[in-house]
């Protein structure tokens, strides 16, 4: 089901040991793109809080954060969940410009969302400099595999052809979600973080989780490897 991603059985688990020595924290902007209803908001919620709940269509864009601890650096992900509805299409580029990682999300049980992912890719390619953004093709809702309309082989072939990374997930069950985030973190750190000025230092500022009306602390539990 997609490529094998880093992480042990059951996904990465938080650890209680203290990291030794100073560790830099870098900011990583990650954007989720795709048609309405493919599960972008549910994936973002899994990334940020490891929760699943039914969500309404996103208006404009929603924002969460998540820290990922690698061996010698902490990456603080700013996760931008964009609206997939056509009426918001013109403003979406405002949110994904400057992204270090972009997830092109489709529903494995809805072929038209797979086709639409290519449209999002073309739009994204207008905004980024090659080598500055890690792009991942993500087939979501594998819990609906009995109604699958897009095969793993077809999606993997497209990813290979367009130079994308690929995996499949289920936001509902959490299958491969944490592993995907860890894999994105490794790719961003290896491909962008090593460049001079590739990633900026994280500056702690207050933010509001736009998925909820009540104000809560968006700085939640962390993935660690």
User: How do residues 69-119 score in pLDDT, each as one tens digit?
Assistant: 998 889 999 998 876 444 445 545 677 778 899 999 999 999 999 999 998
In a domain? residue 112: yes
In a domain? residue 3: no
User: What pLDDT, on a 0 to 100 scale, did the predictor assign at position 22?
Assistant: 53
In degrees and rounded to multiples of 5, residue 105 shows phi and psi of -100, 135
In a domain? residue 150: yes
User: What pLDDT, on a 0 to 100 scale, did the predictor assign at position 157?
Assistant: 97
Q: In whole angstroms, what is the distance from residue 71 CA to residue 146 CA?
A: 39
Per-residue pLDDT tens over the stretch 199-217: 877 766 544 444 443 333 3
Residue 168 banded pLDDT, cuts 50, 70, 90: very high
| Cβ neighbours for 151, distance < 8 A, ≥ 6 positions apart | none
- How many separate domains does the chain show? 1
CATH code, 50: 3.40.50.300
Tokens of 98: 């400057």
| Cβ neighbours for 23, distance < 8 A, ≥ 6 positions apart | 69, 72, 73, 74
In a domain? residue 4: no
**Percentage of residues of the chain with pLDDT beyond 90:** 44
Q: In whole angstroms, what is the distance from residue 121 CA to residue 146 CA?
A: 27
In a domain? residue 17: no
Residue 196 banded pLDDT, cuts 50, 70, 90: low
In a domain? residue 121: yes
In a domain? residue 37: yes
Residue 4 banded pLDDT, cuts 50, 70, 90: very low
| Cβ neighbours for 155, distance < 8 A, ≥ 6 positions apart | 2, 114, 137, 139, 166, 168
Print the domain residue range for 90: 24-224
pTM of the model: 0.75
What is the arithmetic mean of pLDDT over 123-130? Answer: 77
Nearest in space to 75 (alpha carbons), one of 216, 211, 187: 187
Give the residue, 86 or 218, on which the prediction is more confident: 86
Per-residue pLDDT tens over the stretch 26-84: 999 999 999 888 999 899 989 988 888 766 454 445 788 899 999 888 999 999 887 64
In a domain? residue 15: no
pLDDT at residue 13 is higher than 60: no
Residue 24 banded pLDDT, cuts 50, 70, 90: confident
């Amino acid at each position: 089901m997609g490529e094998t991603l880093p992480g042990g059985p059951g996904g990465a688990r938080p650890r209680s040991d203290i990291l030794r020595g100073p560790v830099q924290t870098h900011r990583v902007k990650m954007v989720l793109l795709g048609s309405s209803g493919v599960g972008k908001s549910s994936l973002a919620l899994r990334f940020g809080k490891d929760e699943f709940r039914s969500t309404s269509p996103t208006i404009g864009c929603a924002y969460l954060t998540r820290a990922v601890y690698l061996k010698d650096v902490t990456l603080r992900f700013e996760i931008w969940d964009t609206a997939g509805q056509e009426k918001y299409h013109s403003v979406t580029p405002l949110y994904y410009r400057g992204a270090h990682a972009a997830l092109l999300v489709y529903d494995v049980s809805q072929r038209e969302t797979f086709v639409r992912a290519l449209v999002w890719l073309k739009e994204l390619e207008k905004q980024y400099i090659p080598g500055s953004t890690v792009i991942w093709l993500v087939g979501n809702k594998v819990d609906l595999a009995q109604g699958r309309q897009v095969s793993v082989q077809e999606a993997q072939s497209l990813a290979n052809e367009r130079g994308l990374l690929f995996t499949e997930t289920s936001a509902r069950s959490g299958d491969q979600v944490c592993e995907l985030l860890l894999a994105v973190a490794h790719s961003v750190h290896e491909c962008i973080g090593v460049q001079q000025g590739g990633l900026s230092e994280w500056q702690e500022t207050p933010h509001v989780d736009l998925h909820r009306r009540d104000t809560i602390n968006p700085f939640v539990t962390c993935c660690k490897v």
